[in-house]
Amino acid sequence: MQHDLFSTNGSTSLIPLGEQSAILRGYALALDQQLVAEITAIVELAPWRRLQTPGGKSMSVVTTNSGDFGWHSDSKGYRYVATDPISQKPWPKMPAVLTDLARCAAAELGFRNFEADACLVNCYKPGTQMGLHQDRDEHSFSAPIVSISLGLPARFLWGGKVRTERPQRIELLHGDVVVWGGVDRLRFHGIAKLGDGQHPLLGAQRINLTLRRAGP
Q: Does 191 bind ligand MD3 (CB under 6 A)?
A: yes
DSSP bridge partners of 73: 78
Give the closest residue to 17 by CA, choosing from 209, 197, 169: 169
Nearest distance in Å: CB 73, ligand MD3: 11
* CA-to-CA dists, residue 127 to 32, 133, 171, 172, 196, angstroms: 24, 19, 16, 16, 8
Question: Distance (Å, rounded) from C-alpha 26 to C-alpha 157?
Answer: 19
Q: Which of 20, 147, 177, 205 binds ligand MD3 (CB under 6 A)?
A: 147
Question: Segment near ligand MD3 (CB under 6 A), from 74-82, 89-97, 163-171, 184-192?
Answer: 184-192
Question: Distance (Å, rounded) from C-alpha 201 to C-alpha 12?
Answer: 20
Q: Does 64 bind ligand MD3 (CB under 6 A)?
A: no
Of residues 4-63, which lie at the interface with ligand MD3 (CB under 6 A)? none
Question: Segment near ligand MD3 (CB under 6 A), from 26-34, 72-80, 98-106, 180-188?
Answer: 180-188
Binder of residue 174, out of Fe ion, ligand MD3, none (CB less than 5 to 8 A by kind): none
Q: Does 155 bind ligand MD3 (CB under 6 A)?
A: no
Q: Does 185 bind ligand MD3 (CB under 6 A)?
A: yes
In contact, 152 and 204? CB cutoff 8 Å: yes
Residue 101: enclosing H or E segment and its boundaries?
Answer: helix 96-108
Give Cβ neighbours of residue 96 (< 8 Å, ≥ 6 apart).
none
Of residues 102-121, which lie at the interface with ligand MD3 (CB under 6 A)? 120
Nearest distance in Å: CB 133, Fe ion: 6
Binder of residue 20, out of ligand MD3, Fe ion, none (CB less than 5 to 8 A by kind): none
- What residue ranges in the chain does DSSP mark as E strands? 13-18, 21-25, 62-67, 70-74, 77-81, 118-124, 130-133, 145-151, 154-158, 168-172, 177-180, 189-191, 206-212
Q: Which of 64, 66, 122, 205 binds ligand MD3 (CB under 6 A)?
A: 122
Residues that bind ligand MD3 (CB under 6 A): 120, 122, 130, 135, 145, 147, 180, 184-185, 187, 189, 191, 208, 210
